[in-house]
Amino acid sequence: TNPVLWWRDGIIYQIYPRSFQDTTNDGVGDLRGIERRLDYLASLGIAAIWISPFYPSPMADFGYDVADYRGVDPLFGTLADFDSLLAAAHGRNLKVILDFVPNHTSSEHPWFLAARSSRTDLKRDWYLWRDPGPNGGPPNNWMSQFGGPAWTFDQATGQYYYHSFLKEQPDLNWRNPEVRKAIYNSMAFWLDKGVDGFRMDVLWLLIKDDQFRDNPPNPDWKPGQSTSWSVLPRYTADQPETHKIVAEMRALCDTYAERVLIGEIYLPLQELVAYYGRPDTLDGADMPFNLHLIETEWNADRIAQLITSYELLLPSGAWPNWVLGNHDQPRMASRLGPAQARVAAVLLLTLRGTPTMYYGDELGLPNAHIAPGQVRDPAEKNQPGIGMGRDPERSPMPWDSGPGFGFTTAEHPWLPFVDNTAEFTVEHEASDRASFLSLYRQLLVLRREHPALSEGAIKQVQSANGVLSYHRAYPEQNEGKTIQVYLNLTDSKQAIPPVNAQVLLTSYLDGEGRVDVFETLRPNEGIVLLL
Ligand code: TEU
């Protein structure tokens, strides 16, 4: 039998490098910091780390504005530091996934500096330039995801350029073959070094309508919400030509062994699964990120429905995946509350498909409180007070009770720590057998020990009385035994049909190994049973 690919039966752990470990006493994390914490990461039992961008950048969007695709920003270290990190990670059997940002560059990238230097520059067409609209304003009604028009006027050359995000993040013209080649060559630069794959930023946005048609108004948008939602992204997202590009990226990765291509894609399920590629060849992304658990209403009916539809829509041979949090979304523990966050952890690690977790989620880290004077995120600064800010979920990792909680020796980290930090440190939680960290560790062990969980089928997805349940089974290796998961998504006691079984884990972390007849779940209890 084929060995299972590492990204199918392993777990991916996202690191936001500014916030993981500082070694230079400037309050910002760095690559050496990640290397210093590799033992911790290896001890969790994850398969891979995905590192958010560390390339040279003016940091208008904290690294998602790349000024050089082949380097390391001095804030994070040097290319030698990266090489050392990669070797050290591989030495511990950890894969390294880079965050690649192909949709846009920094406005300080030499390509854009050239493009904006004159209308006849050879790189002019590497970006999206248009003449002003009939009234001298923007060429059409396309909106930036961070609010306001997606077009910025360039005085010197008298044209507008397009940016899906900040004006400091001009979009590349992916219809230009030279652009494609330049990006693929930069990807190859890292693949040659031995990186194990990419998480591709906003993969569904690469191509825009070549006729630049106006987007239709969004009937659900209300004033007071971000203007980015005032129109529907019909002509600025998920254009059919995008799939050809994904296939090209995939083909490049396939010239190396066992590299993974992940796409950040916020789309409805039906459109999302199309990013696996053509049904016969699956020539698209290995894992179009399934971000639906983040946006689905947290109740048993909705989530049962989500799992069922996703499983049904998956093309045959495509491998599922699930994400519960990232650097753009409020922390899981704050979205769901600390008790349900434990249930969510059980869900993430017992579903069929590769789980991706966000650093600090293993500690149950909540959102940090950001005072008005502490705001760093441009998404918040652009449109204050409408809840776009992503600083709360980017708070530094608290390691121990030492100064700067082991994250930094600087007086101030770049963002504040969460409230009651001392209760959330790795050190503190490691000493508590019922902590969030202990729960995560046990779930990771369980997932590794039971092929039913990492590779088995998922069956009988059901919901009743606020309880979500499903079977996981892998007959060949589990002597036909089935794992049954019950998740109480309510904060009251709930009855389940009586079942005689052995407890593999409960989110309360008591009673493991007990054999009994189970007929009730405690409030906010997730339980994994061996039938
Ligand atoms: O995010 C893309 C994206 O869609 C975000 O705008 C997301 O919807 C929003 O942050 C939710 O608040 C990616 C990166 O993950 C994000 O950090 C970058 O700012 C963005 O692309 C631009 O590169």
d(Cα 321, Cα 348) in Å, to the nearest integer?
A: 9
Ligand 1 pocket at CB < 6 A: 61, 64, 101, 145, 165, 201-202, 264, 266, 327-328, 388, 390
CATH number at residue 121: 3.90.400.10
456 pLDDT exceeds 50?
A: yes
For residue 323, give both structure tokens: 């994400």
300 and 200 within one domain: yes
CB neighbour class for 68 (10 Å; exposed up to 12, middle 13-18, buried from 19)? middle
- 232 and 89 in one domain? yes
pLDDT of the residue at 1: 41
Statement: residue 5 has pLDDT above 80: yes
- Count of domains for the chain: 3
The residue-averaged pLDDT of 93-119 equals 98
Distance CA 470, CA 447 (A): 15
User: Each residue of 314-345: pLDDT tens digit?
Assistant: 999 999 999 999 999 999 999 999 999 999 99
Q: What's the distance, Cα to Cα, between the start and end of the chain in Å?
A: 27
* 162-176 residue pLDDT tens: 999 999 999 999 999
| pLDDT of 530 over the 50 cut | yes
pLDDT at 474: 86
Report the pLDDT value the prediction gives residue 271, as an integer from 0 to 100: 98
Residue 354 in contact with residue 97, Cβ under 8 Å? no
List own/partner pairs for 469-478 with CB under 8 A and 24 or more apart. 469/496, 470/307, 470/350, 472/350, 472/352, 474/450, 477/451, 477/452, 478/450, 478/451, 478/452
CA distance 205 to 198: 16
Residue 168 lies in a domain: no
Q: Which atom of ligand 1 is nearest to the CA of 64?
A: 23
Are 283 and 342 part of one and the same domain?
yes
The secondary element (H helix, E strand) that includes residue 307 is: helix 300-313
- Looking at residue 476, its pLDDT comes to 62
Q: How far apart are CA 315 and CA 164, in angstroms?
A: 30
ipTM > 0.90, yes or no: yes
Nearest to 372 by CA among 394, 389, 350: 389
CA of 382 from ligand 1 middle (Å) equals: 14
What single DSSP character describes residue 58? -
Structural domain includes residue 205? yes
Q: In this model, does residue 477 exceed pLDDT 60?
A: no
User: Of 71, 43, 40, 39, which is closest to residue 56 (Cα–Cα)?
Assistant: 71
Based on the domain organization, do 345 and 294 belong to the same domain?
yes
Q: Give percent of the chain above pLDDT 70.
A: 98
Q: Are residues 88 and 209 in the same domain?
A: yes
Q: How far apart are CA 69 and CA 101, in angstroms?
A: 9
**Is residue 171 assigned to a domain?**
no
Atom of ligand 1 nearest to the CA of 103: 23
Cα–Cα distance measured from residue 485 to residue 26, given in angstroms and rounded to the nearest whole number: 45
> Does 337 reside within a domain?
yes
Q: Is the pLDDT of residue 478 over 60?
A: no
Mutate to test the pocket of ligand 1, among 18, 104, 165 (most ligand atoms within 8 A of CB): 165
User: Do the domain assignments include residue 446?
Assistant: no
- Spatial neighbors of 392 by CB under 8 A, at least 6 apart, are 330, 331, 334, 367, 368, 369, 370
Last residue of one domain, picked from the residues 391, 417, 441: 441
Number of Cβ within 10 Å of residue 216's Cβ equals 12
Q: Which tens digit of pLDDT belongs to each residue from 286-321?
A: 999 999 999 999 999 999 999 999 999 999 999 999
Give the contacts of 325 (CB within 8 A, at least 6 positions apart). Answer: 294, 331, 332, 357, 358, 361, 393
- Find the farthest-apart pair of alpha carbons in the chain and give their distance in angstroms, rounded: 77
- pLDDT, the chain, mean: 96
Rounded to whole angstroms, the Cα distance separating 217 from 232 reads 6
Query: In this structure, what token pair is assigned to residue 521?
Result: 């779940």
Decide if 451 is inside a domain: no
What separation in Å is there between the alpha carbon of 328 and the centre of ligand 1?
6
Q: Does 2 score more than 60 pLDDT?
A: no
- Give the residue among 114, 131, 36 at the shortest CA–CA distance from 77: 36
Q: Copy the structure tokens of residue 518.
A: 């189970």
379 alpha carbon – ligand 1 mean position (Å): 9
* The last residue of a domain, from among 378, 406, 441: 441
37 and 123 together in one domain:
no
Query: Sign of the CA dihedral 398, 290, 300, 448?
Result: negative
- What strand order describes the sheet that includes 129-130? 129-130, 159-162, 151-154
- pLDDT class of 507 with cuts at 50, 70, 90: very high
Considering the domain architecture, whether residues 371 and 385 belong to the same structural domain is answered as: yes
Other CB atoms within a 10 A radius of the CB of residue 36 amount to 16
Task: Indicate the residue among 414, 441, 468 that finishes a domain.
Answer: 441
Torsion of CA 125, 127, 133, 136, to 10 degrees: -100
pTM over 0.80, yes/no: yes
Domain encompassing residue 498: 457-530
pLDDT digits (tens, 9 = 90+) for 231-273: 999 999 999 999 999 999 999 999 999 999 999 999 999 999 9
Whether 48 shows a pLDDT value over 80: the answer reads yes
Q: For residue 349, is it within any domain?
A: yes
Q: Which residue carries 């006849």 as its tokens?
A: 120
With a cut of 90, say whether residue 205 has pLDDT above it. yes
| Distance (Å) from CA 309 to ligand 1 centroid | 25
Give the CATH number for residue 431: 3.20.20.80
Q: How many residues does the chain have?
A: 531
Residue 309 included in any domain: yes
Residues 435, 501, single domain; the answer is no
Residues 348, 528 contacting (CB under 8 angstroms): no
